Structure formats: C-alpha cells, structure tokens
A and B are shown apart, each in its own frame.
Chain A
Amino acid sequence: MILLAPLLIALLGALVVLGFRNHQVATRAALLITGLEIASLMVIIRQVHERGVLQVGRYLRVDGLSSFFLINIAFISGLVLVYASGYMRHPGEGRFTSPRWFYALVFLFLFTMISVCLSANLGLMWIMMEGTTLASALLVGFYNTKGAVEAGWKYLMVCTVGIAFALFGTIVLYLAAVKAGMNPDTALDWAALMEALPRMGFDSHLVKLAFVFVIVGYGTKIGFVPMHSWLPDAHAEAPTPVSALLSAVLLNCAMYAVMRYDAIVSHAVGAAFPHTLLLIFGVMSMVVAGLLILVQRNLKRLMAYSSIEHMGIVAIGLGLGGPLGLFGALLHIFNHSVGKSLLFFSAGNIRENFGTLRMDRVTGMARTLPQTSVALVVGSLAIVGLPPFSLFVSEFAILSEAFSQRRYTVAVLFLAVLSVVFGGFTYYLLRMLCGDDPKSAPANGRLLPSEYSVMGIAGICLLFFGVRIPHIFTVIIQDAMAVLR
C-alpha cells in the first residue's frame, strides 16, 4: 500500500495548500507536504532496492527503472520547492497567481509525474503523461503576461497533439498484443508484455509502427527536434522553479516512457530498429539545439536549448545501448537534472535582481551578484561537461561506448556539438560576468538562506558525483539497467 502514499500525499497536499490564504502559512504547509512526499518516495525506493519489485493491484508497479526516476523526482522536487519558498515571496494577487495556487498546481504536477513512474499499464501511463501537460499548462502561463499566455497556449496545443500520437502508438501496440493472443485485459501491462513477448509472435510491422508513433508522441514532450517548438517558450516564460521542474523532471518522465517502449520493442523485433530511431532523434536534437544555443538572447531560452541538447545526449546513450551507453544515459539523466536546476536557480536570482533575462542587459554580474555568479559558473562548467563535474563522467561513458562500437560519425558529431556549446556558454558567461557595472544597480544582491542552501547542495552534488559515484547509486543504476535488458 506504500505505493499509494506519495500519490495521496500530493493530491491531498494540493487541496490542503489551497485552503491557506496567508502566504507564509501556505509556504510552510507546502514545505511540510514536500517533506512527507520525499519521505514516502524514499521508503518506496528502499523497499524496491530490497525486494526488487513492488506491485499494488493491477495498475501500480515499481521496479528498478521506475525507482531510479523516483529518486530523481524526489531530489529535484525537494530542491525546487525549498527554492520556491523564497522565490515566490512577491506574489501577484490575480485569480490563479497567488502562492497557494502555485503550490497546489505544483503538487498536482508532481502527482502526475509520480504516477507516470508508478503506473504498471501503458494506457494509464499515457493518461498520466497527458495529465502532466494539463497540470503544468497553468503553471507555464502563471504570470499571465502576453508571453506567458502565448507560451501556455503553444505548450498545451503542441503537447496535446504530440501526446495524441503517442496514444495512437499505444493503441497499435495493444492491437499487436491482442492479435498475438494476449488477454485484452492485461495486454497493456508492461510486465505482462515483457513476459509474453519471447513466447508469442508479435506482428513486427505493427510493433514498429507503434514505436514510431510513440517516439514522436512522447518525443514531443522530451523536446526532440523537430517537435521541440514548445520547449524554449515554456521554459522561458514559466516561473523559474517551474522551469527547473519542467527541464529536470518532466523531460525525464517522458524519457522514462520512451525507455519502457524501447525495452518492449527491442524484445519484440530486436534492438536495431528502436535504437536507430533513438540515435537519429538524439543526434538531430543535439546538433540543432547546439547550434541554436549560439544565437540566444534570453538566458532561460539558452538553458532550454541546452536541455534539448542534453536530452539528445541521453537518447544517443540509449540508442547506442551496451552497458556503458545505458549506464551513461541513466547517469546523465540525473546529472543533467541537478546541473540544470542549479542553472535555473541562478537565472531566477538574476531575474530578481536585474529585472530581465536578456543577456545583453546583464553585465558586471561578478561584482554585483558574487554568490549567484559562482553558482552560474559552477552550473555552466558542469553543464558543458568539463571535469571534475559529474556530467563529464556520463558524457565520457556515452562517448566511449560510441567509440567501442566504432560509430565514428556519432562520436565526431557528439564531440563537435559539445565544443560548439562550450564556446557559446563561455562567450555569454564572460559577457554577463564581466563588463561595465549595470546601469540599474541590483537592489539587493544577497541570497536568502533557502536559495543558497539548495544551490550549494546542487553544486556539491555535481562535484561529488564527478569525483566519485557513491556505491549505492551505482547499484541503483544497475538495478534499472537490469530491467531494460
């Protein structure tokens, strides 16, 4: 029954927070609920680690792979909510723009993302994935400015259409399973599918068709090029804590769905077909996003394109397969989440102090905002993949897999994009850090305790994982890899 706990806590939490009109009470309640949420997720992860698989009823199930993504959700949502408790201190008083609405929507958003990872059924997973779009659309449009409304509308339309294709893919896979003689009631349970696949002959045309639709559909939510158009807008216009959640948790949840299908399809028709598709989307996303990073003017859009690039890297790791490729992909998911959250947190502080995110108007940051500058530099160095930070380790793993499989085109493109991105980040970073003192001096450069504590944790985590991956974490990733084999 423990599997129900995080879902209930998030749902009830959303309702409870709505009841508090006072900002401070609502914030404290939200932090308390987050604490409970993380505790319940930790209990689940621990039990999965001990027993292997947890199942409640027919619709909820957790194994090694889902528990890896639950760790990611627990860690990032904890950081984000603590950061938000300081960031949301000057709220608007519109209909949906008070902090209680913010926290309620965030808990709903968390509810849907956790349900994606907990669902045992591909249909339920689709429902919850669509739920993530619905729960976060109002968060993207939270500020109700022209830009936010446009971004929210685009997000809602593009993702709903994209996800509709994933539903079509789900139906086609269901058709293949029913035709192969599976019981219609269990034909969408991934555990049953994985178990039945080796025994039953699935129509390979249908399974391939299903995967094409699924990767396009869920790929829209991951932000694969060319379905990425919603992503920079949504990331740039959403409140900063929400941008961090979108980039560091939501994209990963969609990636989780693709990984499930990848495992199923690999069992049915061999790994070559799904892996080739993943490689194509991965390389395309990496190259296009890497080039677009060079022409950005808004800091958060820059980070959004970097998210697309990193999702491309993860897809390349999955597409290469092999022990190192998979290990690198999973590790990269976690590292990217931590690094990107740190970057978004610093972007939030810049916005608070300079009142803008346009990079040409932010100058002389190193003098006026020293603490934020340190965070920005650490985050940027980590995100471009320099040692000793953790993203170097995961990118190196993926790259060595590419070389050991003699896929030189992929490896060369990979390295080329990384150096282009490095150049772009360095250029913008130096321009923002140095330069003349800003005309409008920031009001107050000091960080709140809630802000520097989470930024510190994220920074230390990046450094620590770069030097040495804790044993327990390696074991958890290996559990996750065992599910995919």
Chain B
Amino acid sequence: MGLVAFATGKILSSFSVFLFLTILLLVVSRRFSTSVMLFSVQSAIIAAEAFATGFRERLAAAYVVAALIVLIKVIAIPCAFFGLANHLKTSSDMKASTTPTQSVFIAAAMIYLSYAAVQSYGLSVHVPDDALAAPVALILTGAFLMVSRNKALMQMLGLLVLENGIFLAALTTTFGMPLIIEIGVFFDILIGLLLMGIFAFRIRDTFDHLDVSKLRRLRG
C-alpha cells in the first residue's frame, strides 16, 4: 500500500508540474488562439487526473466527470471560443496591460505564494504539496488574467481558468463533490458562458469594440 500511495503522490505531483507549465505559458501568450489551446490542454490534464482518481478510488462518478470535462472543456468550449472570435471579427491581440516579462514574474510569484499558502494544510489532507498548490495557483492565475487583460473574450477565459482551479481543488482533496452537484456546476458554467457571449456581441454592437477597460461610463 505504501508503494501505491507513494506512486500516486508522484503522479499527482507531475500532473501539477504540467499545470504550472500551462500557467506560465498562458500568461505570456500573445494571441487569443494560443491561449484557448492552452486552456484546452490544461483541461485535458485535469480530465486525466479525474480519470486517474476514478481508477484509483474505483469511483464510477469520477469517470463520468472526466468524460464531461473532455466533452465540454477540452472540445466544446474551445470550439465555441474560436467561433465567437471569428464572428466578432476581433483582432488576435489581447490588449494585455502587463508585458510578458512582468507577467512571468507575477505568475512565478503566484506559484510561490500558492505553495506558501497550502503548506499548513498538506499534511492534514494526505496530499502532496504540489497537488494542493496547483489549484490555488490556477485560481490566482485566472483572477490575474481577468484583471490584466482588457479583451472581453480573454476575461471569459480567465474565469474558466479560475473555475478549473476550483474544480481541481475539489478533485484532489475530496475526489470530487457528489455527481449531481458537479453536473449542476457544469451546467451553470455553460449557461454563464452563453450569456457572456451574448453580452460580448452587445458590447461590440453598442460600443464598436471589445475593450472592456473602456467601459467606464458608470462610476461613483
């Protein structure tokens, strides 16, 4: 049993390393399409992790969740993003308010911070530190993308990265929430994205651009 636990820990840690890699690439990517592909890869890693959890814990529900992630986050959402970007005829520049160099330093600092934050919890939930730090780092990165990118579509992507982090936190610490709740959460995300898509169209139609930082009429 000791060997299995050890091996599981190592596998979880290496999954986390791949996730950190996607984080660093996401914050420096200059094109929207690259970011969407990176999000897709990131979701695929999480799906693999969900699948592995299902295998190890003999949880049928985890298989269903893994399949849902592949369907929705790896395939459907990236396709929808590409379609949306095409329809909105937006330029691929994402109007970052930080330079790539600054972004890498900020991302590195956030990864460090997430390790520091989970240190006291790692032992109590019997999960390696890397596996706990990865979700926190994802949440922070998602929030960072939302505040530092001015394009409406990029903010939506930031939200999805943040949500990936929360999902991963549930997966690594409790092997996922009850299935019906997971499905409800997925449903909410889908509807939320649909609405944000509608609003992206409305922003373009009423303001003739998609730069959310220029929406500054309402103040005080």
Contact = CB atoms under 8 A, between A and B. Distances in A.
A184 B199 CA distance: 38
A141 B187 CA distance: 22
B7 interface: no
A151 interface: yes
A199 B144 CA distance: 41
B124 interface: yes
Interface stretch (A8-16, A172-180, A307-315, A342-350): A172-180
Contacts of B170: 171, 174
B101 interface: no
A56 B75 CA distance: 37
B218 A156 contact: no
Interface stretch (B23-31, B37-45, B65-73, B176-184): B176-184
Interface in A278-304: 292, 295-297, 301
Interface stretch (A76-84, A127-135, A432-440, A471-479): A127-135
Interface string A335-377: 0000000000000000000000000000000000000000000
A256 to B, nearest CB: 19
A394 interface: no
Contacts of B196: 153, 156-157
A151 B202 CA distance: 12
Which of A156, A185, A295, A296 has its CB near the most chain B CB atoms (within 10 A)?
Answer: A156
Contact of A130 (B169, B192, B198, B199): B192
Contact of B202 (A144, A157, A168, A188): A144
A121 B181 contact: yes
Nearest to B204: A149
Interface string B77-103: 000000000000000000000000000
Interface in A105-125: 121, 123-124
Contacts of B184: 123-124, 127
B212 interface: yes
A97 B174 CA distance: 44
B192 A134 contact: yes
Given A137-B195, A144-B206, A178 B159 contact: no
Contacts, number: 119
Interface string B156-176: 000100110010011001100
B139 interface: yes
B185 A233 contact: no
B107 interface: no
Given A123-B177, A149-B206, A232-B218, 14 more contacts: A133-B192, A134-B195, A137-B195, A137-B199, A154-B215, A154-B218, A156-B192, A156-B196, A157-B159, A161-B146, A164-B162, A171-B169, A179-B124, A237-B218
Interface of A: 121, 123-124, 126-127, 130-131, 133-134, 137-138, 141, 144-147, 149-154, 156-157, 160-161, 164, 167-168, 171, 174-175, 178-179, 184-185, 188, 203, 205-206, 232-233, 236-237, 292, 295-297, 301
26 contacts: A127-B181, A127-B184, A130-B188, A137-B195, A137-B199, A141-B202, A144-B206, A145-B206, A146-B206, A149-B202, A153-B196, A156-B192, A156-B195, A156-B196, A160-B192, A161-B159, A171-B177, A174-B174, A184-B174, A184-B178, A205-B124, A206-B121, A232-B220, A233-B218, A296-B220, A297-B220
